[in-house]
Structure 1
Amino acid sequence: MTLIVVLALGAFFGISHFRQNNSDSGDYEAAAADKAASPDASDSYVTRCGTPPTFTPTKIVTDSGALAVTMKITATCPTGDVLASSRTRVSVSASGANVASGYFNFSSTPIFVPRTDTGGQKYTEQIFRFPIGAFWRTPESLPSPSASTFVIESQQSGTTGAQSGEFLSRSTSFDATAPASPSTGDVEKASYDALRAIGDADRPVVLSQLGEKWVPQISSKRLGLVADGVTWNNTEMLREHLELRLRYPNVKLLWSGEWSVFSSKDFWITVAGVTYSDSADANRWCSTNGLSADHCFAKLISATHPIEGSTASR
């Protein structure tokens, strides 16, 4: 069992949203055989290292179903490295805040990390996808890259596959097979911190883009509420918000206590960031997207407007 802790100062860039299809994780063996037949095959042949490699995040984005973290992996042995554990816990935190944590299976598709004792490529870049339930922070809610300390922890367990092989200059997208515990604290605390961070990051955008406009409100939940067969805690509220955020356009999170148009001041409110000048159009969006009247209605977003006249049910 190996524990890896790597600190990367201001190491990622290009925070944005994108839609990505998983890379094919297929016949690397055939490609490796072709590579081995080349004159410089010895330069690409790597063996498992006795000390863990370093991980550096280079990009953090969300796609249609996960938080995708691109990692630059560099071997600490001159002869490269092989990651082939069937159960590897990879956790990401930023300036002490939990970002993501999940288990990955590399036994059937190992990661071959290049040698550092040749003139070739010194690292490999691979994409680690953390589905909903295995990540807490959105890219927008992360600290400034230039001021952040990113810590990647990796703990290998389970069965181990390949001990050596050919490094191929390609990126593969790996999906976490299960969520893992956060780096610090528990899941409920990580979820609360994430809700607060996402709401804080969204507030200036809501003020500038959604303020004094009608939008579809698609969720309102508070701690301890019993609704839809769920007793809502921070973990469930974050899960629902992230599902909605990755499904609909420009979704934002509001804390009701910071806005004048909500009578209860302790709700997390999720809205779709499509704006309209009247409530009828906002309600039409709800109908077009197949959302029931109990789960979607028109709401005027404002920090000054009175509660009266700010809600239009269907």
Structure 2
Amino acid sequence: MPVPEQSVADQPEPPHGKRTRTIVLVVVAVVAALAIAAAGVGIWWFTSHRGAAPASDGVVATHAGKDAGKASAKDGAGAEKEGGKERKAACVAVPDAELGSVDRSGENLIGAFTFTSNCEDGDAAYAAKDVQVTVKDGDVVAAAVFDFSKHPIAFQDGEAIVKLAFNASQHWRPSSQIDADDAEVVVQGRQTPQSQPAAGAAGALGGADIAKNSAERYAQTALQWQTSHDSSKASDFYSTYTTQLSSKKFGMQVEGKTWGYADIYRQFLTCKSKHPNALLVWSGDWPTYTKTNTGDYYVILSGEPFDTTEAANGWCSANGYTSNDCLPVDLQ
């Protein structure tokens, strides 16, 4: 027969221990449900905000590549951010140059050049390596390769005056015979130096040698120019004496080397630095040499006048020359 229904009041009360366990289970279930809900909210927040950097002072910082913050360069100049401050980038455009003046320090030609920036930011420094500076006064009269990476050209209002030194292997005309007003200057980047940079002189930056074949060609031209230039002055020694300091010709093997045009012209510049009146003549232009069949030499003369051979010999001794290096001569 069916079991009769009982009211709640009629149901027997469970023992005390069983009742306590029931309450505990209910509390645990509620806590677990709350934990699951909290975890779900956390996962949603993380996934929806992934990739965003934490905000600071109300500004959201976003991820930037390594080139972010750099301003685009124009005409070889630009700027970049460093530590929140703008820093000027170096100018890489080759500047123009003019020769302001020339001077001499020992065997060095010293040129004062006015460089003009070719960058949009005219005050950005120029700090390139292997930059050839060539000076022309009709012919090429000086050329060397300079390293401005260690001695940058600092422009002010787009211009800078820089002193450059050319040693006796790097220039092919005495400083006193170069017309700075008519000279042309050519500046070329990415050239190949043929030596280590020479020491500076008189506060001027020294440079490295250019290609040997170019230097030889410029020296040959310089020898021709010099003998023509000095011919008028040399004619004074038809009727009086001077002293001969050297006679060399191309390919001559003497003094431990084979002489080229560059060697011959360098020796002339060395003598010129010691004796400002020194002259260079081509022996074939003067009777005293053609009479002895020695008409194919470049001859260096001291340019000092003497009335007698004894006076000329005395000058040689006083200046430390032996009879093999210095002797009286007239050109008649």
Q: Is the TM value for this pair above 0.5?
A: yes
Match of 2:184 in 1: 150
Match of 1:39 in 2: none
- Return the TM-score normalized by structure 1: 0.67
Q: Does 1:198 align with 2:226?
A: yes
Shift of 1:46: 7.3
Residue of structure 2 aligned with 1:138, choices 166, 174, 191: 174
Secondary structure of the 1:110 match is coil
Match of 1:235 in 2: 262
Shift of 1:145: 6.1
Unaligned runs of 5+ in 2: 1-86, 193-201
Shift of 1:149: 5.8
Secondary structure of the 1:280 match is helix
Larger radius of gyration: 2
Residue of structure 1 aligned with 2:110, choices 50, 68, 77: 68
Match of 2:307 in 1: 277
Match of 1:297 in 2: 327
- The structure-2 alpha-carbon separation of the partners of 1:115 and 1:202, relative to structure 1 and needing over 3 Å to count, comes to same
Percent of aligned pairs with the same amino acid: 21
Unaligned runs of 5+ in 1: 1-44, 117-122, 159-170, 306-314
- Return the TM-score normalized by structure 2: 0.63
Amino acid at match of 2:184: F
What is the CA–CA distance in structure 2 between the aligned matches of 1:220 and 1:140, rounded to whole Å?
23
Secondary structure of the 1:134 match is coil
How many residues align structurally? 233
What is the CA–CA distance in structure 1 between the aligned matches of 2:276 and 2:220, rounded to whole Å?
23
What is the CA–CA distance in structure 2 between the aligned matches of 1:87 and 1:205, rounded to whole Å?
40
Shift of 1:283: 0.9
Structure holding more strand per residue? 1
Match of 1:58 in 2: 100
Match of 1:89 in 2: 132
Residue of structure 2 aligned with 1:129, choices 165, 170, 185: 165
What is the CA–CA distance in structure 2 between the aligned matches of 1:140 and 1:156, rounded to whole Å?
31
Q: Which structure has the higher relative contact order (CA within 8 Å, separation 6+)?
A: 1
- The structure-2 alpha-carbon separation of the partners of 1:141 and 1:257, relative to structure 1 and needing over 3 Å to count, comes to farther
What is the CA–CA distance in structure 2 between the aligned matches of 1:130 and 1:136, rounded to whole Å?
10
Cα RMSD, aligned residues only: 2.6
Shift of 1:273: 1.5
Structure holding more helix per residue? 2
Shift of 1:266: 0.9
- The structure-2 alpha-carbon separation of the partners of 1:149 and 1:127, relative to structure 1 and needing over 3 Å to count, comes to closer
Deviation sequence 1:145-194 (CA, Å, 0-9, x none): 66x46141231479xxxxxxxxxxxx952122x21138xx7332221111
What is the CA–CA distance in structure 2 between the aligned matches of 1:226 and 1:157, rounded to whole Å?
32
